[in-house]
Amino acid sequence: MLRSRFTLFYASSRKKHTSIAESYEGQSLLITGSTGFVGKVLLEKLLYQCPKIDKVYLLVREKKNIKPHQRISKMLDEPVFSRLIKEKPQMLDKIVPIAGDISSPDLAMKTQDQQLLINKVSMVFHSAASVLFDDPLDVAMNINFGGTERVLNLCLRMKTIKSFLHVSTAYCNTDKPIIEEIVYPVPASLDKVNELLAKGHVNKDEVKKLLNKQPNTYAFAKALAENLVLERHGNIPTTIIRPTIVSGSKNEPVIGWVDNWFGSTGHMALTLLGINRVVLGNPNNILDIIPVDYVANLIIVAAATNTNCKDVKVYNCSTSKVNPISLYQLKNLTIEDSKRNKANVVPFPSLHFTTSKWVQSLIILISNTLPAYFMDTMLILQGKTPRYRDFFSKVSRQRNVLDYFTFNTWEICSSKTRALAASLSPADKQNFPFDPIDIDWKTYVANYCKGIRQYMLKRQK
């Protein structure tokens, strides 16, 4: 009798486990950057996996005279949303486009739209950013710092907000060989930045001096934005997610899906085609790539589990510490895929490493630029439209940007991220995987290459 009473008491006193999906039940969300690479996967996964979400408001700017609702409608036709549309089309009714622009005062929102968000939204995901590394300082600061400030100001006015999540980058602290899951001091004071920008015309030497050890204006503005979030989040439970180089999806919603030339994608595409023949860097250097669906899953879980903490939690979304892939390994897997699938347009695909910028430039001229011109000339002679020079120009800038990340290497710690993954229930681990130890690089790179061929090069169904 006593035992049965104890058992009954124990069972009734246990806290019911709340799944990640249940944490979103009845919540209204605001997402900035939903038309971006990470934003699309985040939106799809939230709607697919969390059916009892109330509404998802998407802050979208008008672009080339295309209205926000038209942009979203067109976006939903992309392959990344095919699973959702096929299996759970009713979830699309929860999407509410809101006209706005993070680069404009008051987010360029109508007063009634602002009030709607203030009254209804309980969780905010700030993913919008300019990811161009060569943005002028004023542009990078206005979008990546000022945009964060404007979104945060709106959050502070929200009546029922329970979580603010800011998507940053692991590379806003590259002056440190080991990058921990903490917010580091600012690389320069905001007063110095404003003083320089107030001059109007800013030359490259002045910008370089201001950036100090930061590689570009993107990382610089992101570092300042992190400190802004740390200092100004008030009582809102706040999380910072720092992805490394975001790459094609591992599992969801489509295996190998990618929609842009940024990061490692442009470099790998050129390698698959046999056009890219040289990498600036040591072959043993680590290229820290992380699947886009792992980033989205971490965002969803981190926001759901940080609703009662007033401290800013920082999670590095990375692979270099626990499951690294070297440039040499990535090269071999990519070349193997190129040969196996006959993806190359230039014979005998290969890739060499050098630490000399001069040698790299020479090899690019001989093996990249000149063949691209030759192939376009052949197409013209056949009465076809030339395409290789245009393609090369699109990805060459991204490859040049990647030089910084192949020439250098970092150890990006992710112990807090892995601990968060380990804390999940078996069901949530399956539904929201983001532990990098689970990545099998041979399988992943093969699927990534397939995605590049299918979605970017349009060479395979």
Chain centroid offset of residue 371 CA: 33
Q: What is the pTM of this model?
A: 0.92
What is the Cα gyration radius of the chain? 23
* pLDDT confidence bin for 9, thresholds 50/70/90: very low
Q: What is the pLDDT of residue 395?
A: 62
Mind listing the pLDDT tens digit for each residue in 21-36? Answer: 999 999 999 999 999 9
The answer to whether residues 149 and 104 touch, using CB atoms and an 8 Å cutoff, is no
The answer to whether residues 355 and 280 touch, using CB atoms and an 8 Å cutoff, is yes
Q: What is the pLDDT of residue 65?
A: 84
Q: Residue 133 corresponds to which tokens in the numbers above? A: 């590394």
Mind listing the pLDDT tens digit for each residue in 200-219? Answer: 778 888 888 898 888 899 99
Beta strand segments in 94-227, E = 95-99, 123-126, 163-167, 178-179
Q: Residue 96 corresponds to which tokens in the numbers above? A: 């509410």
In the predicted structure, residue 12 carries a pLDDT above the cut 60: no
Query: Residue 82 is which amino acid?
Result: S
Mind listing the pLDDT tens digit for each residue in 342-377? Answer: 988 888 899 999 999 999 889 888 877 787 788 899
C-alpha span between 47 and 56 (Å, rounded) = 9
Q: Pairing state of beta strands 178-179 and 123-126?
A: unpaired
Q: What is the pLDDT of residue 14?
A: 38
Of 255, 271, 313, 291, nearest in space to 434 by CA: 291
Mind listing the pLDDT tens digit for each residue in 234-271? Answer: 999 999 999 999 999 999 999 999 999 888 998 899 89
- Residue partners of 134: CB distance under 8 A and separation at least 6: 216, 217, 397, 401
Q: What is the pLDDT of residue 100?
A: 96
Chain centroid offset of residue 106 CA: 25
What sign does the dihedral 83-443-423-419 (CA atoms) show?
Answer: negative
* Averaged pLDDT for residues 177-188: 93
Q: What is the pLDDT of residue 124?
A: 98
* Averaged pLDDT for residues 171-199: 91
Q: Is the peptide bond before 253 cis (omega within 30 degrees of 0)?
A: yes
Q: What is the pLDDT of residue 205?
A: 86
Mind listing the pLDDT tens digit for each residue in 401-447? Answer: 789 999 999 999 999 999 999 999 999 999 999 999 999 999 999 99
In the predicted structure, residue 6 carries a pLDDT above the cut 90: no
C-alpha span between 91 and 185 (Å, rounded) = 42
**Dihedral through CA 443, CA 449, CA 455, CA 461, nearest 10?**
-70
Mean per-residue pLDDT over the chain, rounded: 91
In the predicted structure, residue 8 carries a pLDDT above the cut 50: no
H helices of 212-307, in order, are 217-232, 264-273, 292-305
In the predicted structure, residue 397 carries a pLDDT above the cut 90: no
Q: What is the pLDDT of residue 176?
A: 92
In the predicted structure, residue 17 carries a pLDDT above the cut 90: no
Mind listing the pLDDT tens digit for each residue in 261-306? Answer: 888 998 899 899 888 889 999 999 999 999 999 999 999 999 999 9
Mind listing the pLDDT tens digit for each residue in 302-336? Answer: 999 997 777 899 999 999 999 999 999 999 999 99
State the CATH architecture for 20-236: 3-Layer(aba) Sandwich (3.40)
Q: Measure Cα distances from 418 to 172, 304, 323 in Å.
A: 21, 16, 12
Q: What is the pLDDT of residue 134?
A: 82
Q: What are the structural domain ranges in the chain?
A: 20-236
C-alpha span between 169 and 158 (Å, rounded) = 26
Q: Residue 289 corresponds to which tokens in the numbers above? A: 């790539």
Mind listing the pLDDT tens digit for each residue in 128-180? Answer: 999 888 899 999 999 999 999 999 999 999 999 999 999 999 999 999 999 99
CB count, 10 Å around CB of 413? 19
Which neighbouring-strand residues pair with 32? 59, 126
C-alpha span between 50 and 24 (Å, rounded) = 6
List the Cα angle 139/141/143 in 5-degree steps. 70
Q: What is the pLDDT of residue 394?
A: 66
C-alpha span between 318 and 315 (Å, rounded) = 9
What sign does the dihedral 54-298-127-266 (CA atoms) show?
Answer: negative
Q: Residue 168 corresponds to which tokens in the numbers above? A: 């940053």
